[in-house]
Amino acid sequence: MIDRDQLRREKQNECDRVVEALHHRIPRLAEIAEEIGQLSIARIKSSIFQKNDQRSAQIDQQVNALMQEKKAILAQHGLDENIYKPQWQCPLCEDRGYIRPGELCQCYIQERLDETFQRSGIPENMRSLTFDTFNVNYYDQPTDIAEKVAKCRQLVEDIKSGKGRFNVVLLGEVGRGKTHLSVAMANAVLANRQTAIYKRIDDLLDLIREYKFDKETARHEGIFELEQLKTCDLLVIDDLGAENVTGFAINQLRIILEERNLRNKPWVINSNLSLSDLQKVYGQRVADRIIEKAVIYQLVSSESIRMQKRIQNQF
């Protein structure tokens, strides 16, 4: 999180240094600044205390003339008035993070989003995986796939309105768009400033293992992430396969799914196994948790989408 007070102070100091150097280089500008300062005080005296309108108007004229002179000098040096202003990262809110009390600036919202994206575990190169970039025409039956995509969009809408009513299981061979579709859901949830976590099953189990067996040295964020696995608005578990399936893995997966199902917190599981193989490998209890509240979709295409894209890009 950016320390905005600190940032503003730095920008202000930087501006002060620039002005000081400028006034050193062009002493007349320093004199003008000094004169305008004194005239401003005189202006307050004349208007508020002496109520002397004629004097006030005279001062205004003098100030105006000085401002014109300053402008002309700056122009001679290829500069303008902006040199007297701090170079804010965000000119909209001058790096305050809000436009006015209660109205957050876009830069602040973006910063929060970036933070959530970083925490989500979605690699940088998967940020572009959205519903809009998911092309149903790569599939043998585009209409069928479009319906499935619509259902996945529905899940995101449910999450947005705070009522996750179902989970999604995406099955299919490697390169059939399971990751794309599931990350599109996660990205949409994140863009709505809600929380989503994407983990390949191996990384997810590593995270749990690190915390369970190495509590002393476990990173503080590890604990936070672990809790988030159960509570975030959407959890995507990618690549649930037949490799490295241990009692530990089965147990942990069951616990996460049970907790999330209880809390009505949706999840998406991707696997290249069939449902019956999942049942064989992970056992009946996990299989029950998986099918309990899930829509199960097979993403079928005769050729790998990845391969089709690569071929297309070559021509």
- Residues binding Zn ion (CB under 5 A): 90, 92-93, 105, 107
Min dist. Cβ of residue 4 to Zn ion (A): 9
* Residue placing its CB nearer to Zn ion in the complex, 93 or 155: 93
The sheet with strand 267-271 has its strands ordered as 196-200, 234-238, 267-271, 167-171, 294-298
* Residue placing its CB nearer to Zn ion in the complex, 104 or 174: 104
From CA 157, how far away is CA 151, in angstroms rounded? 10
From CA 222, how far away is CA 311, in angstroms rounded? 41
| Strand pairing category for 167-171 and 103-104 | unpaired
Which pair of tokens denotes residue 72? 């002309």
Min dist. Cβ of residue 106 to Zn ion (A): 6
Min dist. Cβ of residue 105 to Zn ion (A): 3
* Residue placing its CB nearer to Zn ion in the complex, 6 or 38: 6
Min dist. Cβ of residue 160 to Zn ion (A): 25
> What does each C-alpha distance from 155 to 12, 99, 221, 290 come to in angstroms?
47, 34, 28, 16
Which pair of tokens denotes residue 184? 């599109």
* Residue placing its CB nearer to Zn ion in the complex, 44 or 92: 92
Which pair of tokens denotes residue 96? 């305050």
Contacts of 89 (CB under 8 A, 6+ apart): 7, 11, 95, 107
Min dist. Cβ of residue 87 to Zn ion (A): 14
Q: Name the one residue in this structure whose structure tokens are 């940088």.
A: 124
Q: Give the largest Cα separation in the chain, rounded.
A: 95
From CA 152, how far away is CA 170, in angstroms rounded? 10
* Residue placing its CB nearer to Zn ion in the complex, 98 or 166: 98
Min dist. Cβ of residue 6 to Zn ion (A): 16
* Residue placing its CB nearer to Zn ion in the complex, 105 or 229: 105
Cβ atoms of 129 and 180 within 8 Å: the answer is: yes
From CA 226, how far away is CA 247, in angstroms rounded? 19
Instruction: Say how many C-beta atoms besides its own lie within 10 A of residue 207's C-beta.
Output: 21
Q: Name the one residue in this structure whose structure tokens are 């071929």.
A: 311
* Residue placing its CB nearer to Zn ion in the complex, 107 or 208: 107
Min dist. Cβ of residue 15 to Zn ion (A): 17
From CA 200, how far away is CA 269, in angstroms rounded? 10
Min dist. Cβ of residue 264 to Zn ion (A): 36
* Residue placing its CB nearer to Zn ion in the complex, 93 or 201: 93
